[in-house]
């Protein structure tokens, strides 16, 4: 090939360092006046050259990756140069177009276009597409029209986002058609379109947002089978994580039941289906690390005993801890939820200040008698012949001396104010000069083990030790689940405005340290260690994760520690794809670390992702769906979903009964439930019925009574009746449900028995809507029923939920005359 050269024009020569540009076999070379040169290899070209002519000279835009300009060239030479260059790079561009088509086919037609593939595609495609966009004439002159047809189409999408949306849509539609047969039969029922789409979308990150009974399990099973059937991956590279062992077994059974439907079913076909703990154990075992579980793992009582013993020993070693506990178990303000204050003397006080006085007298070994008067309790110091009281009614926090040998003293104290420990100590010291304050006592008694033992004994006997254990044990649990450092603990306490944050942090850090040492001594780990150790193993690259696809069930209840393990598997693995399946309406495990924000703020967590929704439910009818959905969506933080039901009914199937048994003239949950069960079974003898209560203990006696009843009368089979808590009902279903615990008490529904402020500060953050988690619990309860949900509510002690159901325009059947009257009076208002 003859060498083509272009020189600067005579005027242009003044403005450029360029001596001349030359076109050789595989590059454009620019030679400069000072002797240097620069090559632009054809392989870097992404389009055709463009020429810009002006009056005296021309500029060539080469069409390489940077679209380099060569300016001030003689126009005639520039034109010839540009035409020759176009001919030279034509085969290169053709090859690149071919490569793009191959990539496009592979990444967007043969599989779901992933966000990571989109980057690859964009890198390859966009430079050529931009060149084409600006230089279409030259392209059309140099390339056959069929080769750039695809470009013309792509150009219509304007942005890469629109293009990817179109490619994905295209792929989904094509796959729905091509794999119709498979999706028709792979589960026991043909998959719905929504379910099919959830199966098909195989982005790097996927969220399947579902509602109860919409076939999450079916989708997970079908998705795994689909990946294997299409050879996207092999079974041993799929990991399915279930919330508990029962769910893992169900997934395994449903998977195995359908493997014969696969095209090539003689390869080993078991994905790893396990719980998070099972996964952690699997990882640790592979790395030959210990997995023996501590004695605490399955028995919280043993942990309670350990903590009690630890407090005993720790106080014995350092009595300061005793005073720290004593001064912080209750808080010095009127918002304290305690209504009774336990004291070392065994007396029960009514205010925090009385609690302080009582304990101070007790540890000073001053005998006193506590008398409950009308307005306040009084302390009669028997040997001093003094009587004092704490005037709480006035809200001034002053000590009143009711009786004193020297009457003059009486008025002196009436002016004093004091809410906190120091102030009360000062006030009491005026009355009893030999009284020692706590700081003095700490030093004095550090060496006195008899004294310490006595204190511990009283601390235990009066119930304060139990209070301390009950308070710190959940904190220990929360700290371990959230893997909080001492600094994080303190930050959370301070952030939650907790009084004595420093002392609480100090105590909790001591406990957590001792607990780790205890586990070390046992040569064992607990469930939290298991997850955390597995995380360490993966992040330290001691194990290369083998999975290409990870599917996680019940994602709405995942904890931060679990998510971190998951994230480590994805980051350390080889292009791992994550599918999270969850229902934000069913997030009910915050107390054990479940963090709903991981679902509601999924994008913040993982970046770009594909969302699929499952909104058609097969379990229950429109009546149950409407009531349950309306109730849970009252909280604006919950995703809005429009649930469609397979079953349609015209009458409400949610019933509200009271607990009053007319012909016995008494109130009884049990009898009401029994009557309902009998009535249901009269109509449908084979029906399954679940009785659901807020706390397990509420079911124990009920279950016993039912057992007796069923063996006496044989009116129903024990195996037809189930007893679940709202929590344990997760994932289960029955033909009919009977919902209990609707009263306004600590153990009612919504439960008033709120978490202690300390553990509340350590748990994952919660949304602000009142009773939000309890609200979701009711949603879970209602949606267990296939046909009918029966609520039995207390007449006398009305639950907030009951009031809401009566007042909030819910389409329910109220069978109770009493509640109906209430309802109509609400409607009249
Ligand atoms: N496409 C379908 N057609 C008919 N029935 C279906 C379909 N998909 C699922 N089902 C049925 O719906 C019921 C609920 O399915 P599944 O247990 O998978 O729901 P889920 O979403 O896990 O529910 P939950 O969140 O309440 O535990 C099952 O009986 C299942 O067989």
Residue 534 lies in a domain: no
Residue 335 sits in the same domain as residue 211: no
Peptide bond into 452 cis (omega under 30): no
Both 557 and 605 in one domain: the answer is: yes
Q: Tens digit of pLDDT for each residue in 181-214?
A: 999 999 989 999 999 999 999 999 999 999 999 9
In the chain, % helix, strand, coil (3-state, to 5) comes to: 50, 15, 35
Show which of 584, 614, 644 is a domain's final residue. Answer: 614
Ligand 1 site, residue 618, Cβ cutoff 6 A: yes
pLDDT in tens, 221-258: 999 999 999 999 999 999 999 988 988 998 999 999 88
- Between the alpha carbon of residue 44 and those of residues 28, 61, 63, 68, 93, the distances in Å are 11, 14, 9, 11, 10
- Shared domain for 210 and 339, answered yes or no, is no
- Closest Cα to atom 9, ligand 1: which residue? 215
- Whether the predicted pLDDT of 438 surpasses 60: yes
Count of the separate structural domains present in the chain: 4
Question: Does 129 map to a domain?
Answer: yes
One domain, residues 502 and 549? no
560 within a domain of the structure (yes/no): yes
Q: What is the CATH number of the domain that holds 273?
A: 3.40.50.300
For strands 69-73 and 58-61, give the pairing.
antiparallel
* Domain-embedded: residue 297: no
What spacing in Å lies between the alpha carbon of 628 and ligand 1's midpoint? 17
Distance CA 304, CA 310 (A): 10
Boundary (domain end) residue, out of 178, 205, 224: 178
By most ligand atoms within 8 Å of CB, the mutation choice from 218, 554, 643 for ligand 1 is 218
State residue 394's pLDDT score.
47
pLDDT at 766: 79
Question: Do residues 664 and 718 both lie within one domain?
Answer: yes
Same-domain status, 546 and 511: no
In a 13 Å sphere around the CA of 119, the CA atoms on its Cβ side amount to 5
174 and 129 fall within a common domain: yes
ipTM of the complex: 0.96
Q: pTM for this structure?
A: 0.86
Taking the CB of residue 202, how many other CB atoms lie within 10 A of it?
21
642 plus 776 within the same structural domain: yes
Rounded to the nearest angstrom, the distance between the alpha carbon of 781 and the centre of ligand 1 is: 16
Give residue-wise pLDDT tens across range 64-123: 999 999 999 999 999 999 999 999 999 999 999 999 999 999 999 999 999 999 999 999
Q: Are residues 317 and 409 in the same domain?
A: yes
Domain membership flag for residue 296? no
Domain that holds residue 467: 305-517
Q: Which pLDDT tens digit goes with each residue over 753-786?
A: 677 889 989 988 878 888 999 999 999 999 999 9
Does residue 259 have a known ligand-binding role? no
State whether 167 and 201 are in the same domain.
no
Count of positions (residues) in the chain? 829
CA nearest 460: which of 322, 318, 317?
322
State the chain's mean pLDDT as an integer.
88
Question: Hey, whose CA ends up nearest to atom 4 of ligand 1?
Answer: 189
Are 605 and 470 within one domain? Answer: no
CA of 732 to the centre of ligand 1 (A): 11
Query: Is residue 641 one of the residues assigned to a domain?
Result: yes
Statement: residue 666 has pLDDT above 50? yes
The reply to whether 531 falls in a domain is no
Of 143, 178, 213, which residue constitutes the final position of a domain?
178
Apex 502 CA angle, 500 and 507, nearest 5:
100
Averaged pLDDT for residues 705-718 = 70
Helix (H) or strand (E) holding 150: helix 145-155
**Residues 692 and 750 grouped into a single domain:** yes
Given this model, what pLDDT does residue 701 score? 81
Q: Is 214 annotated as a binding residue?
A: yes
Tell me if 688 is assigned to some domain: yes
Residue 192 near ligand 1, beta carbon < 6 Å:
yes
């Amino acid at each position: 090939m003859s060498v083509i050269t272009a020189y600067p024009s005579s005027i242009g020569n003044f403005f450029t360092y360029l001596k001349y540009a030359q076109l050789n076999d595989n590059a454009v070379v620019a030679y400069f006046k000072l002797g240097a040169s620069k090559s632009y290899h054809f392989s870097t070209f992404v389009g055709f050259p463009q020429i810009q002519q002006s009056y005296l000279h021309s500029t060539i835009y080469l069409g390489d990756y940077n679209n380099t300009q060569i300016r001030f060239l003689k126009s005639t030479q520039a034109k010839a140069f540009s035409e020759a260059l176009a001919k030279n790079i034509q085969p290169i561009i053709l090859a690149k177009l071919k490569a793009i088509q191959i990539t496009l086919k592979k990444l967007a037609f043969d599989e779901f276009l992933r966000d990571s593939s989109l980057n690859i595609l964009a890198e390859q495609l966009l430079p050529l597409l931009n060149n084409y966009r600006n230089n279409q004439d030259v392209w059309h002159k140099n390339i056959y029209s069929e080769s750039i047809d695809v470009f013309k189409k792509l150009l219509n999408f304007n942005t890469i986002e629109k293009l990817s949306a179109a490619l994905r849509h295209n792929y989904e539609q094509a796959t729905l058609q091509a794999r119709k047969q498979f999706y028709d039969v792979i589960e026991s029922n043909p998959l719905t379109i929504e379910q099919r789409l959830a199966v098909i979308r195989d982005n790097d990150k996927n969220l399947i947002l579902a509602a109860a009974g919409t076939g999450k399990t079916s989708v997970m099973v079908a998705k795994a089978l689909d990946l294997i059937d299409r050879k996207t991956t092999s079974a041993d590279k799929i990991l399915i994580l279930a919330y508990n062992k029962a769910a893992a077994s169900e997934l395994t059974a449903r998977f195995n039941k359908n493997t014969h439907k696969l095209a090539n079913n003689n390869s080993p076909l078991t994905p790893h289906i396990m719980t998070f703990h099972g996964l952690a154990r699997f990882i640790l075992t592979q790395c030959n690390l210990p997995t023996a579980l501590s004695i605490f793992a399955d028995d919280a009582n043993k942990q309670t005993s350990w903590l009690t013993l630890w407090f005993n020993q720790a106080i014995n070693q350092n009595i300061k801890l005793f005073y720290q506990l004593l001064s912080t178990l209750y808080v010095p303000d009127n918002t304290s939820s305690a209504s009774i204050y336990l004291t070392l003397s065994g007396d029960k006080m009514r205010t925090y200040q009385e609690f302080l006085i009582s304990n101070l007298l007790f540890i000073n070994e001053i005998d006193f008698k506590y008398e409950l008067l009308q307005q306040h309790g009084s302390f009669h110091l028997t040997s001093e012949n003094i009587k004092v009281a704490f005037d709480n009614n006035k809200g001034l926090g002053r000590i009143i001396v009711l009786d004193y040998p020297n009457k003059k003293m009486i008025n002196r104290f009436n002016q004093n104010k004091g809410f906190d420990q120091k102030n009360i100590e000062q006030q009491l010291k005026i009355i009893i000069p030999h009284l020692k304050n706590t700081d003095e006592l700490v030093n004095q008694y550090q060496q006195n083990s008899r004294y310490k033992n006595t204190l511990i004994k009283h601390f235990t006997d009066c119930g304060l030790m139990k209070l301390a254990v009950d308070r710190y044990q959940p904190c220990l649990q929360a700290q371990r689940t959230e893997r909080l450092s001492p600094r994080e603990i303190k930050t959370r306490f301070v952030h939650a405005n907790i009084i004595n944050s420093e002392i609480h942090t100090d105590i909790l850090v001591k406990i957590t340290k001792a607990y780790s040492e205890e586990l070390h001594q046992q040569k064992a780990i607990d469930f939290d260690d298991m997850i955390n150790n597995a995380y360490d193993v993966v992040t330290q690259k001691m194990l290369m994760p083998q999975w290409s696809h990870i599917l996680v069930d019940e994602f709405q209840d995942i904890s931060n520690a679990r998510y971190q393990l998951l994230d480590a598997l994805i980051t350390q693995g080889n292009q791992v794809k994550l599918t999270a399946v969850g229902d934000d309406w069913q997030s009910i495990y915050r107390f054990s670390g479940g963090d709903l924000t991981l679902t509601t703020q999924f994008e913040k967590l993982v970046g770009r992702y594909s969302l699929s929704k499952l909104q058609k439910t097969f379990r229950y009818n429109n009546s149950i769906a409407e009531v349950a959905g309306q109730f849970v969506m009252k909280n604006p933080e919950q995703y809005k979903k429009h649930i469609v039901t397979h079953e349609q009914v015209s009458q409400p199937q949610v019933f509200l009964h009271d607990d009053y048994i007319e012909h016995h003239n008494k109130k009884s949950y049990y009898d009401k439930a029994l009557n309902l069960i009998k009535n249901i079974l009269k109509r449908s003898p084979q029906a399954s019925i679940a009785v659901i209560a807020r706390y397990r203990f509420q079911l124990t006696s009920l279950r016993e009574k039912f057992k007796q009843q069923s063996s006496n009368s044989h009116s129903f089979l024990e195996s037809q009746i189930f007893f679940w808590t709202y929590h344990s009902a997760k994932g289960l279903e029955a033909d009919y449900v009977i919902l209990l615990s609707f009263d306004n008490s600590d153990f009612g529904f919504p439960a008033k028995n709120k978490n202690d402020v300390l553990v509340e500060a350590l748990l994952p953050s919660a949304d602000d809507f009142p009773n939000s988690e309890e609200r979701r619990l009711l949603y879970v309860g209602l949606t267990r029923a296939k046909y009918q949900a029966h609520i039995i509510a207390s007449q006398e002690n009305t639950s907030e939920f009951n009031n809401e159901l009566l007042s909030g325009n819910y389409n329910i059947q109220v069978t109770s005359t009493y509640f109906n009257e209430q309802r109509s009076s609400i409607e009249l208002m």
